[in-house]
Amino acid sequence: MTGELWHHLAAQVEQLDAQAGRLIRRALTEHTAALRVQVAGRAGTGRESVETQVRELLLRRVDIEGGQVDAAVGGVAVDTPDGPDPVLDGDVVVYVVPRRLDPAVAHPADRAALKAVDPCRLVLVVTGGTDDSECALVARATGVPPDQVVAVRDEELLGERLAARAVVARRLRDEELARVVAGVPAAPQVRELVEQTLDLVGLDPMESVAAGLR
């Protein structure tokens, strides 16, 4: 229903202000694009296997907010020799760490990479024969919330964690769309249509603009 409101707004605005209409259409295209899921980790962590597992799990999930997850999954190597630090800015970031002899001690490269990730977009996967108690230690060592840390062998729980992050990512996109549309320069007649739509989707236009300027 919300998607129909946005597309109806774009059609109305295009008839009144072509430039504003193009900006709203562009924002809608970005909003509906496949979720970017990055699977990141150092060499030797099992990242490639987790990447395959994540892709299969997302293809099988059909109960995330009433629909199948449309996601583009890609691998990202971390701490490569002479390589630049990767940009972990996906809609969802699955970070892979191996089981360590002392799970309470995190690798410095992992800690550094995880600090750059938006926590609400993160799932931390621990490979090897890790149990729940070890996952809790890994969470403490890395500073990741415990409910976002999962052992790779617990496929059902991993699927649930991915689903939860996908829901968050979609809601963040909804908020970003509202901010962009609220900030589109347009004539008063168009502004009125925009504000009416924001009211219908439950967002205050001034709050959306203010959030976009921060």
Q: Read off the pLDDT of residues 147-165 as tens digits, 9 standing for 90 and up.
A: 999 999 999 999 999 999 9
Phi, psi values for residue 77, rounded to 5°: -85, 135
Q: Report how far residue 111's alpha carbon sits from residue 89's, in angstroms, rounded to the nearest whole number.
A: 16
> Mean pLDDT, the chain, as a whole number?
87
The structure tokens 């009211």 sit at 199
Phi, psi values for residue 19, rounded to 5°: -65, -45
Angle 154-155-158 from CA coordinates, rounded to 5°: 90
Q: Read off the pLDDT of residues 103-160 as tens digits, 9 standing for 90 and up.
A: 889 999 999 999 999 999 999 999 988 888 999 999 999 999 999 999 999 999 999 9
Q: Which amino acid is at 96?
A: V
**DSSP state, 79?**
S
Q: Report how far residue 211's alpha carbon sits from residue 214's, in angstroms, rounded to the nearest whole number.
A: 5
Helix axes 155-182, 18-32, angle to 10 degrees: 170
Residue-level pLDDT at 13 = 93
Task: Tell whether the model's pLDDT for residue 88 goes beyond 70.
Answer: yes
Residue-level pLDDT at 63 = 53
Q: Residue 128: which residues within 8 A CB-CB, separation 6 or more? A: 46, 98, 99, 152
Q: Report how far residue 92's alpha carbon sits from residue 89's, in angstroms, rounded to the nearest whole number.
A: 8
pTM exceeding the 0.95 threshold for the entire prediction: no
